[in-house]
Every structure is written in structure tokens, then in C-alpha cells.
Chain A
Amino acid sequence: MTSVKAQAIPTSAERTTRQGRRQVSDRTIAQLFIWPTLILLIAMNVFPLFYSLYLSFNDYSVIANQPPQWVALENYEEILTNGRARYWHNFTVTGRYAALSVGLQILIGFGLAMLLREKFKGSGFITTLILIPMMLSPVVVGLFWKLIFDPSKGFFNYLIYLNPRAGDQWLSDPTLSLWSIVIVDVWMWSPFVMLLVLSGLSAIPNYLYEAAAIDRASAWFQFRRITLPQVMPLLLIAVLFRTIEAFKAFDVVMGLTGGGPGDTTETVAVRLYSEAFLGKFNTGESGALAYIVLIIIIAISNLYIRALNRAGGD
């Protein structure tokens, strides 16, 4: 054994140098990986974040060729006083849109998940089909739904009334325009809710249902007392994600109605866009608006997360 040891184990001097070299090179490699990412992150995310915050306290327009002028809270005041009526309208549109589309997505997504929970022949294929809308680009979705909703050649009305010419002016009727956006959003994102719920359902161990069957629980009792509470944390996550997304609703709206007719579908994000760019280039004020939206989203998320912690507390 002694001879083997002499071969196998380097002297302690060798050991230290070898070790020392290795440690230095490890660290260098780690830094080589980290720095480019860090620089990119600072340039693309961190800097714009703080610069836009700074601009929101200034009178500034990117096309005015004038340096930013410090006005403190004036932009915020403007939004909350003079511009209040129209901004409030934007927020109510967004709120109604969020409530309707998230609510429908949860119902439909949950229903689909319950249907697809049992494995049957072709269930994998059907699941994949259902997931397709989620994977499409929102702008493309907006554009081809515009065709589908088209009162003269779209087949949406045909589906409902079996007559393409009898139907409604989905995109230009002020009472229907918001609904059309909701329909598209539900079509696109219900699969997402379904996916989350499906993973929640599959995580419920089968023995809970076996125990319930032994305990003589009815199907409805099992759903109410086992399925629903067990899926609740994931359901809340779905609601949180979809609500945040709804507040940012932009691309589909632009693709479909552009905020119209009038301002009936002008969500906060669309308004923000028109303030910041479309002819006005009101950079300072739109910065302030963006920050107000950010604060609201953070507040809502916090409420959800609190509810989530309570639901998943065990």
C-alpha cells in the first residue's frame, strides 16, 4: 500500500500549486461568462428604467431638440387633474377588458383542463392543437382576426348567424368592439390557463380520490373539497399572469381596432403609445403615465401574491 500511495498522491507542494492554479482559472471563466450578460442587462434594462424615471420629472420631447427641463411632479399632476377624465376612461376600459378576458379564460381553461385530464386516444394531439393559438405572434393574431371579424367576408358572423352578411360590425360597433378584443384574447390565452390547471390537476395524487371514493364522497363533493382547493394555487398564478398581461394589452388591440372606434377600446397601453409616439412625442408625460401603470401593476400583483401565499400556505 505504501508504494501505491507514493505513486498516487502528489507531494503537498505539488498539491498546493495545482490547486491554486485551478481556482484562479475557475474564477476567470466564471467572470467571462457573467460580464457580457451583466453589461447587456445594464444597457438594455437598468439604464432605460432609471432614465425614463428621470424623464418623467422633466418637460421633454424626444423630437423637440431641447434638453430635458426639470418640472418635478408637474407631469403626474397633469395626468391626475386636467387629463383625468380621459385617462380614467382608459383605465376603466383596461379594467373591464381585464376582468372579462381573465374571467372567461379561467372558466374555459379550467373546463378544457378537466376534459383533457383523462387520457384518451388522441388526447395528446388535441392538447397540442389547443395550444397553438398561444404560440402565435399577437400581431399576426390581431391581423387575421380582423379578417375573421370582417362583416363582409369574415366567417365569424357566418359561424354565429350562418349568414356572413346579416351580422354585426364587430370591430366598428362601439358596444361590440371591446368584446371582440376579449374574444381574441380568450381564444389566444385560455390554453395557457388550461396548461397551468392541467399541471395542477396532474399533481393531485390519485390516492386522494381513492380515499374520497372509500369515504363515499359524491363527484361534486370531491370537486369542491379536493380538486378545487388543490388547484387553487396554480389557478391564482394563472390569474396573476393573465391580469398583468391584460394591463399591458397592446399588440392585439393595435392589430384589431387601434383603440377605436373613437376611444372605446383605447387601453392604457395604447394610450401610452399614442402619447409617447404617434405625432405627439410627449416623452415626459408618457414616462409619468408608464410609472403610474407600473405602480398599479405592482400593487395588484402584491395582492395576488398575498392571496397565493394564503392558498398555498400548507
Chain B
Amino acid sequence: MSDIELRHISKQFKDTAALDDVSFSVADGELFVLLGHTGAGKTTTLRIIAGLERQDAGDVVFDGEIVNQYTPADRDVAFVFQQYSLYPNKTVYENLAFPLRSPLRRVSSVEIDRRVRDAAEKLRITPLLARKTANLSGGEMQRVSIGRAIVRQPRVFLMDEPLSNLDAKLREALRIEIQHLQKTQGSTTLFVTHDQIEALTMADRIGVLRQGRIVQIGPPQEIYDRPTTTFVAQLVGIPRINLLPATRENGTLVIADSAIKLPLVNANEVPPLFLLGVRPEDVRLDPAGDLRGEVILTEPLGVETVVHIRSERQTLLCLVPGITPLAIGDTVSFSIDRSRLHFFERGGQRVGD
């Protein structure tokens, strides 16, 4: 496999900057996830790497070689699209074999057969090989699409939201399989998604893209635990992080419009006015806790329950395990894990650690 590097890539569409000075690299064998909202420039980035789109400035580098001038065919990347672009009237076998039949490649038919069967085995689609792809389910079709990428043995895999057309259960199953496959094969993969769960669960590293700019790059744990901006903090984690305007008053943290006060340890690093980020799992129902609030809503999800706690005019989301017996209107005591607080400037930038 290869490593990829993007150096200062910019791209304009008419008057809007689709990408603005985007740089990152994907190491050989790494699964790198580009995470961002619709229109953030994720797909454009992929298309530039594949050579389907030409950047206005910057270089695309494969294994140290600048490949800007290469056509998509010459770059030898595999692209898995959101829509499974299969030939409906051909069998699964023929679809898998198709990329290898190109006269340019000159792969012997024995070799083709070996590789097709090998890919089918890995993706657990061996029983489907003789079927026409038109008769497959969505999940099966996407497996075949991925299989078609695998048989080529390309330099890198580019995946553009391959799971987003599947229903929740299938998405989960296929996600685990892609993960397993990628780890055991060690293939260089750039995976694009807007789904934070996909990003957190699959990635070796995540690049967060916002309006054409990279805002943070790091391993999932770091993105989740140390988001550099409020944007990233809100992008990852379900339910969403509590983000509350707060003030520092004589070494005490006071959440605006609420009765919540906490002692501040690192008082000096925190500006007088700031935004406090608290992940819902770090708000704990605790009979000994010194904070009080009223339950205004409970959302049982099964494994856990989202409890909406109100203190004066602020609402705090709290995640408790299991299905809670709490009723709306109950007063609860709770505490906040002070070691896991996030501080942001009012402008959104992270402060301190």
C-alpha cells in the first residue's frame, strides 16, 4: 500500500472556497477518517485525491511522488461510492472480476479467479458469487462494491460515505467488518463520513473538516477528550456535549442563569467569561452531590437514559445507566466530574488543557 499526503490544497467553486489550505497525511496502513457536515468539502477532498477533480493550488503526493498530473486511472486508487455503482445485469463474480479484466492490467484468468474468490471470502459473499447484483440487498451490494475495490489491490482506498444508504443495523454490521478487514489487511484507507459514530469507532486518526478547513486532526480519543473548538466538541458525542455560558468569580465557576457553582482548580488559565463544556456522562446523579436540579425530561434509550435537568434557566443533559425510575418534576442531586471539564473562550477556542 501507499501513503498519501495533501499539501496546502485549495479549491474554488465559482466564488466559494470549497477547500482552503488543506494539509494532512495518511500513513501506510492507516485508516484516516474525514469528518464534517454536508458541504464541508469532504467529498471534494476525496475527488481531488482520486484525480476526478483538479485542485487550484497545492500538491497531492503518493509515496513521496507528486501525482497532480496523473489521471484517475494512473493514480491507481479504489473509490467506493455512496451509491453502489455495480453493473446490475452482471453476476457478483463478473462485477468483482471486471476491474481486473482491463487489458491495461493483463491479469491472467487464473489469477483473476483466485483474487475474486479471495475477496469474496473476506467479505463473506462467497455464496452470492453467481447471483445477479440487481437481486441483492443494499448491504450485500455495498459489500460487492467494497469487494470490487479490494480485488484491484490499489494503492489506497477512498470511501465516500459508503454506509450512509444502509439502515442502522446493517450499517453497524458492515462498519465492524470494514474495520476488521482494514486492520487485518493493513490497507491505507481514507474514509469520509458525516456520522460521528463511524468516525470515532473506525478511525486511527480523524481529521475534522469545517467549511473547507481542517480544524483538528488527532486520534478519536483525543478528538473526544480534548476538542480544540466548541464546533468539534459538539460534533462528536451523543447526546451532545452541554455547552454553557459561565463566569469565573473569585476562583469559583458560576454557570450563567443557574444555581450551579463549582470550585475552580486552575483559576488562572480560565478567562473571566467563558463557555463550559460538560459531557453528559460526566454529569452524575449522586445523592451526596451538592448540586440540585429538577428533572424536566427523561429519554430512556435502553442501555442508558438521557435525563434533562433544569437549574433555574439552564438545562443540563445527564446520561445515567439503565432505564431510570425518575419522574418528571423530581428534584435530583448531582455532581459534575471536575477532572473532565472543558473550557472554551466565548469565541469557541479551547482554553488550557
Contact = CB atoms under 8 A, between A and B. Distances in A.
Given A7-B105, A7-B106, A16-B69, A1 B74 contact: no
A9 interface: yes
Interface string A7-21: 111100001100100
B71 interface: yes
B106 A1 contact: no
B76 interface: yes
B153 interface: yes
A5 interface: yes
B104 interface: yes
Contacts of A8: 76, 104-105
A4 B76 CA distance: 11
A80 B191 CA distance: 72
A1 B76 contact: no
Where chain B touches its partner, the secondary structure class is loop
B351 interface: no
A19 B69 CA distance: 10
B24 interface: no
B153 A4 contact: yes
A234 to B, nearest CB: 29
Contact of B153 (A1, A15, A16): A1
A76 B69 CA distance: 61
A10 B75 CA distance: 11
B70 interface: yes
A127 B88 CA distance: 36
Nearest to A8: B105
Contacts, number: 22
B1 interface: yes
A15 B70 CA distance: 8
B71 A19 contact: yes
Which size bracket describes the interface of A in this complex? Answer: 10 to 19
B253 to A, nearest CB: 48
A9 B62 CA distance: 14
Nearest to B1: A1
A185 to B, nearest CB: 44
A5 B62 CA distance: 14
A10 B105 contact: no
Contacts of A19: 71
A16 B153 CA distance: 24
A24 to B, nearest CB: 15
Where chain A touches its partner, the secondary structure class is helix
A102 B243 CA distance: 62
Contacts of A1: 1, 153
Contacts of A16: 69
A299 B76 CA distance: 57
A273 to B, nearest CB: 47
B245 to A, nearest CB: 37
A51 B76 CA distance: 57
A7 B153 CA distance: 13
A7 B155 CA distance: 14
Contacts of B107: 4, 7
A10 B153 contact: no
A210 B76 CA distance: 52
B153 A9 contact: no
Nearest to B102: A8
A8 B107 CA distance: 9
B1 A10 contact: no
A9 B1 contact: no
Nearest to A4: B153
B76 A9 contact: yes
Contacts of B104: 8, 10
A15 B105 CA distance: 15
Interface string B93-118: 00000000000111100000000000
B69 A10 contact: no
Contacts of B69: 16
Q: Which of A8, A10, A15 has the most CB of B within 10 A?
A: A8
Contacts of B76: 5, 8-9
Contacts of A9: 74, 76
Nearest to B71: A19
A8 B1 CA distance: 15
A16 B71 CA distance: 10
Contacts of B70: 15
A8 B106 CA distance: 7
Q: Which of A5, A9, A16, A19 has the most CB of B within 10 A?
A: A9
Nearest to A10: B74
Contacts of A7: 105-107
Interface in B105-164: 105-107, 153, 155
Interface in A203-259: none
Interface in B32-71: 69-71
Contacts of B74: 9-10, 15
A1 B185 CA distance: 13
B135 to A, nearest CB: 31
Nearest to A9: B76
A94 to B, nearest CB: 43
A8 B76 CA distance: 9
A1 B76 CA distance: 12
A188 to B, nearest CB: 44
A298 B314 CA distance: 61
Interface string B283-296: 00000000000000
Contacts of A10: 74, 104
A245 B208 CA distance: 57
A5 B106 CA distance: 11
16 contacts: A1-B1, A4-B105, A4-B107, A4-B153, A5-B76, A5-B155, A7-B105, A7-B106, A7-B107, A8-B76, A8-B104, A8-B105, A9-B74, A9-B76, A15-B70, A15-B74
Query: Nearest 6 pairs between A and B by C-beta?
Result: A8-B105, A1-B153, A15-B74, A7-B106, A4-B153, A9-B76
Given A4-B153, A9-B76, 4 more contacts: A7-B106, A9-B74, A15-B70, A19-B71
